[in-house]
Amino acid sequence: MKKVWLDAGHGGTDSGALGNNLREKDITLQLVLHARAYLEHNYSVDVQVTRSTDVFVSLSDRANRANAWGADIFVSMHINAGSGTGFETYRYPSQEGSQSSLLQKELHTEILTIMRKFGTIADRGLKTANYAVLRETNMPAVLTENLFIDTTADAEKLKNATFLREVGEAHARGIAKYLNLPSNQVTFYTIQSGDTFYSIAKKYNITVQQLQDANPGVDPAKLQIGQQIVLPVTTYTVQAGDTFYSIAKKYSMTVQQLQDANPDADPAKLQIGQQIIIPAV
């Protein structure tokens, strides 16, 4: 199972940036907790956080803890200051083309897409910096700067609980996309007229035995229209920019196979966070 370390910037005696009656340490903690909850609910993944309360943790301790735990990636969340506006991400300078660079791109795209649901957001770019948590960590590491606390328009968004939840969850989806995390969502199928275990298994390219094992209390000879059974299949959470073509290519299948497994999903109206079934091929 993949191991993800989430780092809420500042904390305790270190308030971080201040502005518009906001404290950076409070916002970063909310983002991390939203990201952790989303990851743990939607994916098979092990998540640890630097802090889950308002406590101080030194920069070296943040990196050391993640290193000692053997984290696969490290993501540090911050809020900017300095009277600017917009969103930017950072990795360590010597890592162009590295796994940190790939992680940065996934996070940057996913988070910026969600932020722009709430209005105009300046893209300040994918940057590099010699920050301690990027320099001292042994795994791919990225630091996000989520708007400016001392700019009124940005601060209004940072006061919006829905905005913070969706930005935290966007961090989680960017992480999931980079790590190709398996979903832990249970997938149900509603019995239609004429369905049998054999026809359902054939449709999703699984065996009848797999279907029976996933539904030990269900009698295949007594299926009822409208009855729900568990499908032992992989599901995929739609990310920013996904299409049926890109998802099919990712899983080495045809678009038609993907459409057949998701008859109720409109390929032209995919929603970020939507769950689709990935049939075995």
Q: What is the mean pLDDT of residues 42-68?
A: 96
How big is the CA angle at 206 (ends 257 and 186), to the nearest 5 degrees?
90
Number of neighbours of residue 266 by Cβ within 10 angstroms: 9
Distance of CA 124 to the CA centre of its chain: 21
pLDDT at site 95: 65
Q: What is the mean pLDDT of residues 16-33?
A: 98
Number of neighbours of residue 57 by Cβ within 10 angstroms: 17
Residue 257 has pLDDT above 90, yes or no: no
Residue 261 has pLDDT above 90, yes or no: no
Residue of 88, 106, 145, 169 marked catalytic: 145
Distance CA 216, CA 211 (A): 9
Which residue shows structure tokens 């098979």? 44
Residue 281 has pLDDT above 80, yes or no: no
Query: What's the predicted TM-score (pTM) here?
Result: 0.73
Q: Which helix (H) or strand (E) holds 211?
A: helix 208-214
Which residue shows structure tokens 């969706």? 166
pLDDT at site 233: 77
Q: What is the mean pLDDT of residues 45-56?
A: 97
- Report the candidate in 12, 63, 58, 52 with the shortest Cα–Cα distance to residue 29: 52
Amino acid letter for position 228: Q
SS3 (DSSP) at 144? strand
What are the tokens at 238? 């739609």
Higher-confidence residue of 15 and 235: namely 15
pLDDT at site 236: 83
Q: Which domains does the chain have, with CATH numbers?
A: 3-179 (3.40.630.40), 187-278 (3.10.350.10)
Q: Which of 35-39, 66-70, 209-213, 242-246 has the lowest mean pLDDT?
A: 209-213
166 flagged as catalytic: no
Cβ atoms of 79 and 24 closer than 8 Å: yes
pLDDT in tens, 166-189: 999 999 999 999 998 877 667 788
Residue 275 has pLDDT above 90, yes or no: no
CA dihedral sign, ordered 168, 172, 177, 183 = negative
